[in-house]
A and B are shown apart, each in its own frame.
Chain A
Amino acid sequence: MSDQTTPAIQVLDLHKYFGENEVLKGIDFHVDQGQVVCVIGPSGSGKSTLLRCVNRLEDPTSGTILVEGIDICDDEADLNAVRSRIGMVFQSFNLFPHMTVMRNLCIAQQRVRGRGKGEAVEIARANLAKVGLDGKEDAYPAHLSGGQQQRVAIARALSMDPDMMLFDEPTSALDPELVGDVLEVMKDLASEGMTMMVVTHEMGFAREVGDKLVFMDGGVILEEGVPAEVLAGPRHERTQAFLAKVL
């Protein structure tokens, strides 16, 4: 599908309006294969909207988004096929509450990937073990803690064998003591070479795991670079002000 030099995600001059309100004002941005890119910024800066444009949960107003070289805004593009290769993890988990954990992990494998039940279950078990939740196959989401639910959501995305993962503030809805487990799973993923785009407020994670840090404010990218450098010596004054508040 794509050679090593094609960026996993490439965004060119992306604009997005909600009504009269321009939330993305010309974004140029890319994530290389195997890279972990963290996006930070104050709320309302457009960082979640940018992430959601990458698998077209939001329709861009103008601009180009290439996923593994495929223009996803092209009417010819098979959007469902592209989406099935992009794992997405939401702030509010969004597990299917009427299904067991196992069914949550299998339904898209069977209905979208066309895998048989046996194969789907085997892959699901492997991914549950990976996020440290083996034995929870028959539980319903409502009976799990927030941290467990989010790890199931990660396992659900991984069961599709995605080429990349998008995380939309994955730990923001969690109690502080549950954040660690989820970050641990994400770190493991990163060390296995998974391509990741992470919208987050976890500066520690960004510094430790990220290959690139992007700071957004007011719908534009103000600054980007190696996480440790951006965090230690932000050049832009709005970045300085933001980091002074959160660090």
Chain B
Amino acid sequence: MKRSTRRRVNRGVLYGVLVLFVLVAALRLDWTAIRANFFNADGMRENWHDLITIGVKNTIIYTIISFFGGLVLALVLALSKLSPVAPYRWLATAYIEFFRGLPALVVIIAMGFAVPIAFQWTPPGGVIGAGLLALILVSGAYMAETIRAGIQAVPKGQSEAARSLGMSGGRTMVSIVLPQAFRIVIPPLTNEFVLLIKDTALLFVLGVLANQRELTSISRDFMSSGPSAGTATSLMQAAILYLIITLPLTRLVAWLEKKQQRAR
């Protein structure tokens, strides 16, 4: 068989398998059951309002708070990790390794339930404040490594030029190194933002007040009450809303990375 013929046959087989798979799926699946369990019509109409006005709103607010809180923490950690004073480096390394090694869910539960009992201290904002603090602690650890890499990616000649003009070490960091480092880490940080959007779903374990619920909490409530109770309708709706938020952002990351590559 000629090589081009063989390639055509191979491709034909691949298409054949795909068509067969789709056909079997379409014929064998119980579409009425799927519609009833995942796309309940009454639930669809009823649920959107709360999912969007409370759920989407809170999901975005929580993401922004934990992202920027985490960013500030990450900057402190990254600078500590690059500090000439060894104990700062050890502390930052220990912190980063500790919080990167724990599931975010464990930290959220610990901050929400264990810490208030153990230390007789409730974080500001009550239980949701505790959850956000947990997300800040975890995302800070992740972003710290990203920012450290960004700082180290700025050529050494940049700080040498600044120092030779008489700038202090701190001034050099703030005016010369950090602005360039942040440019480098914008794509990975946007990625971290997308991960955080999804991690806010973990806050549901805290059982927050009705108007503090984010998307996942609300959709879980709609699974046990309201017209679509007992079906996964609200879960599908939450999934669609998550995608509407995250997809543009992941496309943005791809675009930023491409742009950065071209600039080099």
Residues on B close to A: CB < 8 A? 155, 157-158, 160-168, 171, 175-176, 179-180, 183, 263
Contact = CB atoms under 8 A, between A and B. Distances in A.
Contact of B167 (A57, A92, A112): A112
Contact of B179 (A80, A90, A92, A98): A98
Sorting the interface of chain A by its residue count into under 10, 10 to 19, 20 to 34 or 35 or more gives 20 to 34
A88 B161 contact: yes
A156 B165 contact: yes
A77 to B, nearest CB: 13
B220 to A, nearest CB: 46
22 contacts: A55-B164, A57-B163, A80-B167, A83-B166, A84-B165, A85-B166, A88-B165, A90-B160, A90-B161, A94-B157, A96-B176, A98-B180, A98-B183, A107-B165, A108-B162, A108-B166, A108-B167, A111-B171, A112-B166, A142-B263, A160-B165, A160-B166
Contacts of B171: 111-112
A97 interface: yes
Contact of A96 (B161, B164, B166, B168): B161
Interface in A66-104: 80-81, 83-88, 90, 92, 94-98
B158 A96 contact: yes
Contact of B164 (A57, A92, A107): A57
Nearest to A142: B263
Contacts of A94: 155, 157-158, 160-161
Contacts, number: 60
Nearest to A108: B165
B227 to A, nearest CB: 55
A97 to B, nearest CB: 7
Contacts of B165: 83-84, 88, 107-108, 112, 156-157, 160
Top-5 shortest CB links A-B: A84-B166, A108-B165, A94-B161, A88-B164, A94-B157
A94 B179 CA distance: 15
Contact of B166 (A80, A92, A97): A80
Nearest to A84: B166
Contacts of B161: 88, 90, 94-96, 153
A142 B180 CA distance: 14
A86 B161 CA distance: 12
A156 B162 CA distance: 11
Greatest chain A CB density within 10 A among B160, B165, B171, B263 is at B165
B175 A107 contact: yes
B164 A111 contact: no
Contact of A83 (B164, B179, B180, B183): B164
Nearest to B157: A94
